[in-house]
Structure 1
């Protein structure tokens, strides 16, 4: 499953129908409903991102650089700056956990519609390409135990 062609518009070869049975999809949705019902999604997102940082400290540099680049494009008052504290990137990093869970929720809602699913995955891919996420950032799987 994936989107390729980082140089140009990504081409998605995603088809949930070829990867999951209807029973699989039902189990995924039921499990996700239980998670959404019984867990604080903000806390869960924070926990996921904090665990990511513990397991993969190298992602810190990506997030720091991302906040600096984005912060340099914002308008601040004479004495204001998002770069003022070390907390800026950490806040954005943790907020990303909730964004991740919301996108997962969206993907699970669209899992039976390949066209909508592909469009959603393309949007996610384009956002990550815009933020200069590259192979160096996602080939860390082998380092996670």
Structure 2
């Protein structure tokens, strides 16, 4: 995974103009507004911290999630040793958790790019949806190699929604069922790209 991407300062999000409502859009105009409302708050705060909070919550709910990363052929760049060669179990656990967080930061960065396109770019319906499809595919590529199961997705989705909801409340903004359903839709569209039809409810 490498280093987490540079988040940088908040970027202003401007609404797309002249976009017509179309039932064939992946996201309706209202849904895009709900995504924008939440992401404006995220960008005004700290995207990296959001990623850390999501991973921390997920590991608290199920520490076995880290097993996905234990079996990956990952090299610790600081000492050039594979995880299997590490002498300290404690150090190894910390490395796995750090890797997990860095992976989460990369995914959030791609989601950030995706949402910025949805709320700022003015294109035709087909072109816009093609762009979204491509971004969903790119995000999914970051997960495929780890053979992630539905359990993992369910926990991450729950923690993702909880963190967004808390962030909205902390900043005195409204969080409605429409916000929740829209963000769950976004998460589902992304995860459907890499979950196999035979995914099971087994973590290990």
Question: Which TM bucket (shorter chain)?
Answer: 0.5 to 0.7
Looking at both structures, which has the greater relative contact order when contacts are Cα pairs under 8 Å and sequence separation is at least 6?
Answer: 1
Kindly state the Cα deviation for residue 124 of structure 1 after the two structures are TM-superposed. 2.1
Q: Distance in 2 between matches of 1:132 and 1:97?
A: 13
Give the unaligned 5+ runs of structure 1: 1-15
SS at match of 1:58: helix
- Does structure 2 retain, via aligned residues, the 8 Å contact 1:44–1:97? no
Structure 2 unaligned regions, length at least 5? 1-22, 119-124, 160-204
The TM-score normalised by the length of structure 1 is: 0.66
Superposition RMSD in Å:
3.0
Aligned match of 1:35: 42
Report deviation, 1:48: 0.6
- Hey, what does 1:125 align to over in structure 2? 140
Give the conservation status (yes or no) of the 8 Å contact 1:45–1:94. yes
- 49-58 vs 19-28, which deviates more? 19-28
Question: Partners of 1:98 and 1:116 in 2: how far apart?
Answer: 21
Contact 2:69 2:146 in 1 (8 A): no
Cα deviation per residue 1:81-102 (whole Å; 9 max; x = unaligned)? 1533312211111112322221
TM-score by length of 2: 0.49
